[in-house]
Amino acid sequence: MRSTDSLRAQIGTLILATSIVQLAGGFFGTFVSMRVAAENFNAAGVVLGSYFAGATVGALRSDRIIERIGYIRAYAAFAGLVAAATSIMPLWVGPLSWTILRIIIGFGSAGVFVATESWLNAKAIPSERGRVFSIYMVAMFLTLAIGQLLISRVDLTSSRPFNAITALFAVALILVSAARAEPPKVSAAASALRYGELAKAAPVAAVGCTINGVVTGAFYALVPAWMQDRSVAQSTIALVMLMVVLGGFVFQVPVGRLSDRFDRRLVLSGLCIAFAGTALIIVTLPRTLTSMLPAAALLGGFMSAFYPVSVAHAHDRMPADRVVAVSARLILLSGVGAVLGPVIGASLMAHFQIDGVFYFMAAAALVLAAAAGLDSAMTSSGKRLKPTFEILAPQAGPLAHDPSETSEPEQTGPANTAMAGSSSN
């Protein structure tokens, strides 16, 4: 009983610490977008997209760091890296310096979530793992939403927001460093995955993850910046972004059930068409709060489901022993898209204002809808080799998986919904 209580205390401490990180990340992502607009940087899209480049590298490389120095020290190192880079940003203001620092912050943030989720996977009691991850995801979404609300009270021109982020990461570092915890066992490395193998087995998943990165990267980087440039009240920006996050939260479970019951490609195609329609409606709506808030919630809901449905489809088509390699490759594709999205979107916004960004996102979603629909019409759904739908935070992909959790190919009936998650900026 004592060992079980100790284990639960470890898990609780880890979830609390990472919730603080998510609070900081939810606030910081929107704040930086607004601050970049206020600074009127050249190549703003590159500055904003650089975080995703760092997060992609971090997601792919941090597992080796964790294996080498252990979970606690790795978590502390990643959190300390973010805190250090954040504290430098107000001292070294400029597009080049902030691009470099945002890459570092993205790398460290991804490392924190890889350490957290692989730690939870390894330490949680199997019979309680679903409950642990459901608690984890509720904490992640709530703190992400609270982070958006804090935007209304921030002074964009001061260094206080940077100091607050540094302090929050330091608190998380202290909590984890002070925890009494045995390091989880290191899982065996997954089988290598050749380039092109995933695209051949699950082309819709590869395209879906890439376009997910393009769409989410463009939205989260550019929309707050545009509102700030148009002198929209910070409280309004915070409320709009909050509705996007809450929409993503509400949509996860029903979309997961649909994707487990029907062909995931058809579900993905429907989500993309609905997202594109919502984006085009937003262009035509009057820019009032009463019309924008419901549209923002719908847009966030549809957008948040692209990645988990694509990931689930990829695991349906690939053997269970490739779960880590497949996840890493999908993270890479999403990261590449998330770098390209703000760059392309910013160039369109320079000529067509924010409408150009929404047209761009709608067009990208329709490309994915067509690809998913055609693939479904041309090929059968086949057997699901790893039937999971993972609930994910709106701004990130699944950064860690437990390769020991393999399952046999399903024989009959729909798959069960599994819950996991992560975060990003």
> Residue 422: what pLDDT?
35
Decide if 399 is inside a domain.
no
For residue 405, is pLDDT > 80? no
Tens digit of pLDDT for each residue in 92-147?
A: 888 888 899 999 998 998 888 877 766 766 666 655 555 665 576 667 777 877 87
> Residue 398: what pLDDT?
37
Give the Cα separation of 303 and 278 in Å (integer). 10
C-beta of residue 277 within 8 angstroms of C-beta of residue 330? no
Give the Cα separation of 352 and 354 in Å (integer). 7
Decide if 219 is inside a domain.
yes
Q: What is the CATH number of the domain that holds 235?
A: 1.20.1250.20
Higher pLDDT, residue 215 or 315:
215
* 232 contact partners, CB below 8 Å, separation of at least 6: none
Tens digit of pLDDT for each residue in 229-252?
A: 787 887 888 888 888 888 887 887
Query: Quick one: tokens of 246?
Result: 């809450």
Q: State the residue for tokens 């252990």.
A: 70
Give the Cα separation of 234 and 38 in Å (integer). 12
> Residue 386: what pLDDT?
45
Decide if 425 is inside a domain.
no
Tens digit of pLDDT for each residue in 255-267?
A: 877 877 888 889 9
Give the Cα separation of 216 and 212 in Å (integer). 6
Query: Quick one: tokens of 261?
Result: 């019951």
Q: State the residue for tokens 């995703």.
A: 52
Q: How many residues does the chain have?
A: 425
CA 419, 191, 267, 335 torsion-angle sign? positive
For residue 297, is pLDDT > 50? yes
| Average predicted confidence (pLDDT) for the chain | 77
Q: State the residue for tokens 């937003």.
A: 282
Tens digit of pLDDT for each residue in 27-55?
A: 888 888 888 888 877 777 788 778 888 88
Q: What is the mean pLDDT of residues 376-403?
A: 52
pLDDT band for position 408 (cuts 50, 70, 90): very low
Give the Cα separation of 154 and 27 in Å (integer). 10
Q: State the residue for tokens 């009959």.
A: 412
Q: What is the mean pLDDT of residues 55-74?
A: 80
Q: Identify residue 193 by its one-letter amino acid code.
A: L
Q: State the residue for tokens 């923002």.
A: 296
For residue 421, is pLDDT > 50? no
Decide if 47 is inside a domain.
yes
> Residue 424: what pLDDT?
41
Give the Cα separation of 71 and 149 in Å (integer). 32
Give the Cα separation of 298 and 312 in Å (integer). 22
Q: At what angle are helices 234-261 and 2-39 packed, to 10 degrees? A: 130
* 150 contact partners, CB below 8 Å, separation of at least 6: 27, 238
Q: State the residue for tokens 């479904």.
A: 376
Q: Which of 114, 140, 128 is nearest to 401 (CA)?
A: 114
> Residue 365: what pLDDT?
94
Q: What is the mean pLDDT of residues 351-370?
A: 92
Tens digit of pLDDT for each residue in 187-244?
A: 444 445 666 777 788 888 889 989 998 998 889 888 888 887 787 887 888 888 888 8
Give the Cα separation of 302 and 243 in Å (integer). 13
**What residue spans of 40-94 are helical by DSSP H?**
44-69, 71-88
Decide if 63 is inside a domain.
yes
* Residue 107, domain extent: 2-378
Give the Cα separation of 23 and 19 in Å (integer). 6
> Residue 282: what pLDDT?
92
Top-confidence range, 35-44, 176-185, 239-248, 415-424: 239-248
Decide if 415 is inside a domain.
no
> Residue 363: what pLDDT?
95
Decide if 386 is inside a domain.
no
* 266 contact partners, CB below 8 Å, separation of at least 6: 372, 373, 376
Helix (H/G/I), strand (E/B), else coil: 317:
helix
DSSP 228-270: HHTT--HHHHHHHHHHHHHHHHHHHHHHHHHHHHS-HHHHHHH
What phi and psi, each to the nearest 5 degrees, are found at residue 273?
Answer: -65, -45
Q: Which residues of 127-163 are buried (b: 16+ CB within 10 A; e: fewer)?
A: eebeebbebbbbbbbbbbbbbbebbeebeeeeeebbe
Q: Identify residue 291 by its one-letter amino acid code.
A: S
| Residue 148 CA, distance from chain mean position | 15
Q: What is the mean pLDDT of residues 393-419?
A: 38
> What is the number of domains present in the chain?
1
Decide if 401 is inside a domain.
no
Give the Cα separation of 106 and 81 in Å (integer). 10
Q: Which residues of 266-299 are buried (b: 16+ CB within 10 A; e: fewer)?
A: bbbbbbbbbbbebbbebeeeeeeeeebbebbbbb
Residue 94 has a CB neighbour count (10 Å cut-off) of 14
Q: Identify residue 290 by its one-letter amino acid code.
A: T
Report percent pLDDT > 90 for the chain.
Answer: 15
> Residue 366: what pLDDT?
95
Q: Report how far apart, in Å, the C-alpha atoms of 175 and of each of 18, 168, 204, 369 are.
A: 10, 11, 41, 44
